[in-house]
Amino acid sequence: MATKFISERNIKFLLYEVFDMESLTQYKYYREHNRKTFDMVLKAAIKLAKDLLWPVFEEMDRNQPQLVNGEVKVHPSVRKMMKEFGAGGWITSRVPFDLDGEQLPHLMADVCDFIFQAANYSANAYAGLTAGAAHLIESFGSKELYDTYVPNMYAGKWQGTMALTEPEAGSSLADITTMAEPTDEGHYLIKGQKIFISAGDHDGVENIVHLMLAKIHGAPPGVKGISLFVVPKKRIDQDGKLVPNDVVASGVYHKLGYRGCPIVQLSLGDKNDCRGWLVGEPHNGLRYMFQMMNEARIGVGMGATSMATAAYYASLDYAKTRRQGRRVSQKDPTLPPIPIIEHADIKRMLLFQRAVVEGSLSIIMQCSKYVDLMKVLPEEKKEKYHLLLEILTPVAKSYPSEMGVHSISQGLQCLGGSGYCDDYPLEQYFRDSRIHPIHEGTTGIQAMDLLGRKVIMQNGQAFMLYAAELQEAISKAKKFQELEDATRQLGQALNRLEKVTKHLLELAQSKGPEHFLADATLYLEFFGIVAIAWQWLLQGIAIQKASNNDAKKKDLNFYHGKMCALRYFFGYELPKTLGLAERLLNGDGLTVDMTTEFFND
How many residues sit close enough to its own copies to count as binding (CB under 8 A)? 112
Work out which of 68, 87, 256, 468 binds its own copies, going by CB under 8 A.
Answer: 256
Query: Please, which of residues 308-327 interact with its own copies by CB under 8 A?
Result: 316, 320, 323-327
Query: How far is residue 261's CA from residue 264's CA, in Å, rounded to a whole number?
Result: 9
Query: How far is residue 338's CA from residue 320's CA, in Å, rounded to a whole number?
Result: 10
Work out which of 66, 139, 172, 183 binds its own copies, going by CB under 8 A.
Answer: 172
Q: Please tell me which residue in 138, 427, 440, 469 is annotated as part of the active site.
A: 440
Tell whether residue 304 is a contact of its own copies (CB under 8 A).
no
Residue 368: which of 327, 344, 396 has the closest Cα? 396
Tell whether residue 567 is a contact of its own copies (CB under 8 A).
yes
Query: Please, which of residues 219-248 interact with its own copies by CB under 8 A?
Result: 221-223
Query: Please, which of residues 422-441 interact with its own copies by CB under 8 A?
Result: 422-423, 427, 430-431, 434-435, 437-439
Stretch that binds its own copies, among 209-217, 232-240, 285-293, 556-564 (CB under 8 A): 556-564
Closer by beta carbon to its own copies, 342 or else 482:
342
Contacts for 30-35: CB closer than 8 Å, 24+ residues apart: 30/103, 30/105, 30/372, 30/376, 32/97, 32/103, 33/104, 33/105, 33/108
Q: How far is CA 582 from CA 502, 510, 577, in A?
A: 14, 19, 8
Closer by beta carbon to its own copies, 332 or else 550:
332
Query: Please, which of residues 332-391 interact with its own copies by CB under 8 A?
Result: 333-334, 337, 339, 341-348, 350-351, 354
Query: How far is residue 56's CA from residue 48's CA, in Å, rounded to a whole number?
Result: 12
Shortest reach from residue 39's CB to its own copies, in Å? 17
Query: How many CB atoms lie under 10 A from the CB of residue 570?
Result: 23
Closer by beta carbon to its own copies, 234 or else 488:
488
Question: How do 207-216 and 179-182 pair as beta strands?
Answer: parallel
Query: How far is residue 239's CA from residue 44's CA, in Å, rounded to a whole number?
Result: 40
Q: What is the largest CA-CA distance in the chain?
A: 87
Query: Please, which of residues 384-423 interact with its own copies by CB under 8 A?
Result: 405, 409, 412-413, 416-417, 419-423
Compute and round to an integer the Cα radius of gyration of the chain. Answer: 25
Assess whether 379 carries a catalytic annotation: no
Tell whether residue 166 is a contact of its own copies (CB under 8 A).
no
Shortest reach from residue 319's CB to its own copies, in Å? 8
Query: How far is residue 552's CA from residue 546's CA, in Å, rounded to a whole number?
Result: 9
Query: How far is residue 438's CA from residue 447's CA, in Å, rounded to a whole number?
Result: 12
Closer by beta carbon to its own copies, 45 or else 355:
355
Q: Are 232 and 157 in contact (CB under 8 A)?
A: no
Q: In the 8-state DSSP scheme, what is residue 597?
A: G
Query: How many CB atoms lie under 10 A from the CB of residue 460?
Result: 17
Query: Please, which of residues 439-468 interact with its own copies by CB under 8 A?
Result: 439, 442-444, 447-448, 452
Residues 6+ apart with CB under 8 A from 252: 65, 66, 67, 72, 201, 262, 263, 264, 265
Closer by beta carbon to its own copies, 241 or else 598:
598
Closer by beta carbon to its own copies, 76 or else 222:
222
Shortest reach from residue 150's CB to its own copies, in Å? 29
Shortest reach from residue 407's CB to its own copies, in Å? 14
Task: Show the site string, 173-192: x = touches its own copies by CB under 8 A, - = not.
Answer: -xx-----------------
Query: Please, which of residues 52-81 interact with its own copies by CB under 8 A?
Result: none
Shortest reach from residue 354's CB to its own copies, in Å? 8
Task: Show the site string, 474-513: x = touches its own copies by CB under 8 A, - = not.
Answer: --------------------------------------xx
User: Measured at the alpha carbon of residue 79, what is the angle toward residues 228 and 152, in degrees to the nearest 5?
Assistant: 45
Work out which of 40, 43, 272, 572 binds its own copies, going by CB under 8 A.
Answer: 572
List the catalytic residues.
440
